[in-house]
Amino acid sequence: MVSKTIINIKDLDINLLDFSQESPRIQTILQNISTHADTEDVVLLLGPSGSGKSLLTNILLGFIKYDHPQIMVEKDRENAQFRVKLQQDAEFVDMKENLYPQVLEGKIGIMFQALGLFDDLTVKENIRFAYDHSKNSNRSASNFKKWFKETTDKLGLEKFVDRYPGNLSGGQRQRVALARLLAYAPSVMILDEPTSALDPLSVKESLNLIREVHKETSSLTIIITHDYKEPPKIADRIWFIHDHTIENYGLKGKSEEEKQEILKEIEHKLHASMSKIAPRIIDDKEAIKRQNKAFDVKWSNMFGEIGKTLSQAKNMFLSRRIQWFMKFFKNIFHRLVTLSLPYNIIAGFFLGIVITYFTLNTNFGEIHLESGENVQVKDFMLPAFYREMLTGLGIIMFNALIPLISCILIASRSGTAITAYLSAIHDSNTKQWDALRNFGVNPTLFFLPQVLFSFVLGCLLLSYLSFLAAACGTLITSLVLNPLCSYYVWQQTFWSSLGSFPFFKGFGMFTLKTAVTGFAIGIISFYYGTRKKSNPMDTIKFLTRANICNMLGILLIFFLILCYEFGG
C-alpha cells in the first residue's frame, strides 16, 4: 500500500546562533520535532509569535538555506528526517541535502500575509506573471484565456482585472493573491495568515473559498494562522508549535465534539506558561566553528548555485518569460530616463546661459590711461579674444562641464528614484522580492541588468541632449551680450570647434565618461536599494548613503578620465 504521507519530519532541531549578547549563544527554536502531513490535507500551522512557524515554512520554500550563518538546522543527527514528495506515488525528496532540491523548485508556493502583489502590474498581469512562470505542464499559453475567465469569475475578480493592486480593497487584494497562487499551480500551497486583515464576515467567506479551491486542486495546503476560532473548521490536521516542539492533531473523521476538545486543549496550552529553553552560552571558538561550517556549505554549493543561476537566466531570456523582463524594464527606463528628459533639457539650457554669461562677463579689472580715463580690460579683450573664448567654451562644455553636471542631476533624481523603488520591492512589508523568488525568478538577475542598462544609456542620452540644450542657451546668450556676435560667428567658433554633428570630436571619451558613470550609479543605487531594512529610518539612511556615494563616484570617475584624456 502506497503511503499517503507527503511531508515527513522526524527528530529535527533548529537553533539560532545569537551574537547580540556579550557572549555568543545558541538559542533553541525547535527541538526534536516530528510531524507529518498527508496528501490532500488542509494543515493548520498554529503557534505563538516567534515560535518558528515562518522559519519552518521558509526552509520548505528554500528561502532559508543550510549555509545561513546564524540559523542552524541540525540535520546531521543520526535519526533526523526531513522529506517531501510531490505526489502520492512518487519517491521522497531528501530536504537535508545542502543544496535545495531542484525537483522542488516551483512546486511549493506561498500566499504571503503581505500578499506580495506587484504594484507595477494590473490584476490580470499579476496573475499572468505567475501563470507564465509555473512549472505545471497544464499551464500552456493557449489555455490561459479560458482558465483566467473561469478563475476570476469564481473569485469575483472579473470587474477588477485591469486595476492595479493599490486601487483595490484588502479583501479584493487577497483574492487576487489567491488567484495568482492558483495560476502558479504548485503541488504544496502555503497560506500565511490569510484571514489576519479581514472582518469576521470576510473571514468566513475567505475560508470557504480556500476550502473550495483546495478541493479542486487536491494539493496539500498549509495555513499559517493565529486564529483558533474559524480556520480549524476547514482543517484536516493541526500542527501546533508549543514548548519548542510540534504536536500533530489529526482532525479527519473526528466528530465535532472531539474537534472542540482538541481545540480546547490547544487553547489551554497556548494560555499556559510556556517553558522556554535557556540559551546555551558557547565560546568564540565554537561559534567560529559553526559559522565556518555554514561557509563550507556555501562553498560546496557554489557551482550548484552558479548552475541554477544560469538555468534561471536561460528561462528568463529564452522563453515567453522574456516579456516580463521587458515589461519591468520599460517601467524602470520610463522612471529613470523618460521622466528625467525635460528636467535635464531645461537644466542644460539654463546651464548654457549661466556658463556663457559669466564667461563673457568676467571682470578683468581696469586700466588707467594717461588721459586720466579708466577703461575696462574686457572692453579690449572681448573683441580680440571673443572667437577663442567661444571655441574653448564649446570644448569645455562638451568634454567636461555638461556631462558632469548632467550625470550629477541624473544621480540625484533617478538614482534616488531607483533606490526608493527597489527599497519598496525589497521591503519585508510588501514581500514583492520574495514573491519573485517563489516564482523561480532571481530578483538580482532580473532587476540588475535593467537598472544598469537604463543608467548607462540614460546618462549618455540625457547628457548629450543636455549639451544640445546648453548649446542653444549659449547661442542666445552670445547674441544678447555681444553685438559683434551673429549666428554665423557662433557657428564658426563654438559649433565648428566640436567637429561634425552628431558625432563631435571627443565623442568616444564623452561616451566612456557617461557610460562608466551610469554603470557606477546603477551599481550603487541597486546595492543600497536592495539592502535589508528593518524600519523606515533605514530607508532614509540608505537613500542618503546612495546619494553621497553617487556624488563622490561621479567626481572620481570624471577626474580620472579627464586626467587620462588631457594629461596624456
Q: Which of 94-98, 377-381, 421-425, 504-508 has the lowest mean pLDDT?
A: 377-381
Residue 500 and residue 388 share a domain: yes
Angle between helices 170-184 and 200-217 in degrees, nearest 10: 10
Under a CB-based contact definition with an 8 Å cutoff, are residues 131 and 183 in contact? yes
Share of the chain above pLDDT 90, in %: 40
What would the pLDDT profile of 519-540 be if each residue is shown by its tens digit?
999 999 999 999 988 788 888 9
Cα–Cα distance between 52 and 245 in angstroms, integer? 10
Give residues with Cβ within 8 angstroms of 566, minimum separation 6. Answer: none
Determine how β-strand 25-38 pairs with β-strand 5-18.
antiparallel
Residue 403 and residue 268 share a domain: no
Q: Which of 34-38, 39-43, 71-75, 409-413 has the lowest mean pLDDT?
A: 71-75
Give residues with Cβ within 8 angstroms of 166, minimum separation 6. Answer: 119
Q: Residue 10: inside a domain, yes or no?
A: no
Angle between helices 416-426 and 443-481 in degrees, nearest 10: 160
Which pLDDT score, from 0 to 100, does residue 45 have?
A: 92
Q: Residue 281: inside a domain, yes or no?
A: no
Q: Residue 552: inside a domain, yes or no?
A: yes
Q: Residue 286: inside a domain, yes or no?
A: no
| pLDDT average, residue stretch 432-459 | 94
| pLDDT average, residue stretch 254-283 | 81
Share of the chain above pLDDT 70, in %: 94
Q: Residue 469: inside a domain, yes or no?
A: yes
Q: Is the pLDDT of residue 482 over 80?
A: no
Which class for 32: exposed (0-12), middle (13-18), buried (19 or more C-beta within 10 A)?
Answer: middle
Which pLDDT score, from 0 to 100, does residue 448 have?
A: 95
For the chain, the average pLDDT equals: 86
Specify the 3-state DSSP secondary structure of 407: helix
What would the pLDDT profile of 80-113 be if each residue is shown by its tens digit?
888 888 777 778 888 888 888 888 888 899 999 8
Q: Looking at 274, 296, 311, which one is the last position of a domain?
A: 274
Domain that holds residue 230: 37-70+85-274
Q: Is the peptide bond before 536 cis (omega within 30 degrees of 0)?
A: no
Task: Please tell me the number of Cα atoms within 13 Å of 84 on its side-chain side.
Answer: 20
| pLDDT average, residue stretch 153-171 | 90
Which pLDDT score, from 0 to 100, does residue 219 have?
A: 81
Q: Is the pLDDT of residue 272 over 80?
A: no
Of residues 393, 382, 407, the one with CA closest to residue 498:
393
Residue 209 and residue 263 share a domain: yes
CATH code for the domain in which residue 255 is found: 3.40.50.300
Under a CB-based contact definition with an 8 Å cutoff, are residues 145 and 180 in contact? no
| pLDDT average, residue stretch 396-417 | 93
Which pLDDT score, from 0 to 100, does residue 561 have?
A: 92
Higher pLDDT, 128 or 4: 128
Confidence bin at 51 (pLDDT 50/70/90):
confident
Cα–Cα distance between 106 and 103 in angstroms, integer? 8
Q: Residue 31: inside a domain, yes or no?
A: no
| pLDDT average, residue stretch 328-352 | 93
Q: Is the pLDDT of residue 345 over 80?
A: yes
Which pLDDT score, from 0 to 100, does residue 327 have?
A: 94
Q: Is the pLDDT of residue 407 over 60?
A: yes
Beta strands in 226-326 (DSSP E): 237-242, 245-250, 280-281
Q: Is the pLDDT of residue 383 over 60?
A: no
Residue 541 and residue 396 share a domain: yes
Which pLDDT score, from 0 to 100, does residue 494 have?
A: 80
Higher pLDDT, 76 or 57: 57
Beta strands in 135-236 (DSSP E): 188-192, 220-225
Q: At 385, phi and psi to the nearest 5?
A: -115, 15
What would the pLDDT profile of 298-319 be if each residue is shown by its tens digit?
888 888 888 888 888 888 887 7
Cα–Cα distance between 118 and 106 in angstroms, integer? 18
Which pLDDT score, from 0 to 100, does residue 325 have?
A: 93
Under a CB-based contact definition with an 8 Å cutoff, are residues 27 and 15 in contact? yes
Cα–Cα distance between 32 and 12 in angstroms, integer? 5
Q: Is the pLDDT of residue 275 over 80?
A: no
Q: Looking at 249, 274, 299, which one is the last position of a domain?
A: 274
Which pLDDT score, from 0 to 100, does residue 120 have?
A: 92
Residue 529 and residue 452 share a domain: yes
Number of separate domains in the chain: 2
Which pLDDT score, from 0 to 100, does residue 450 have?
A: 95
The arrangement of strands across the sheet holding 188-192 comes to 108-111, 188-192, 220-225, 42-46, 237-242, 245-250
Residue 205 and residue 337 share a domain: no
Top-confidence range, 67-71, 105-109, 169-173, 415-419: 415-419
Q: Which of 217-221, 406-410, 459-463 has the lowest mean pLDDT?
A: 217-221
Under a CB-based contact definition with an 8 Å cutoff, are residues 524 and 553 in contact? yes
What would the pLDDT profile of 215-225 be if each residue is shown by its tens digit?
877 788 999 98
Residue 350 and residue 261 share a domain: no
Residue 420 and residue 333 share a domain: yes
Q: Looking at 258, 274, 290, which one is the last position of a domain?
A: 274
CB atoms within 10 A of CB 334: 12
| pLDDT average, residue stretch 156-177 | 91
**Cell 482585472 found at:** 161
Confidence bin at 1 (pLDDT 50/70/90):
very low
Q: Residue 183: inside a domain, yes or no?
A: yes
C-alpha cell at position 326: 521587458
Under a CB-based contact definition with an 8 Å cutoff, are residues 80 and 33 in contact? no
Q: Residue 536: inside a domain, yes or no?
A: yes
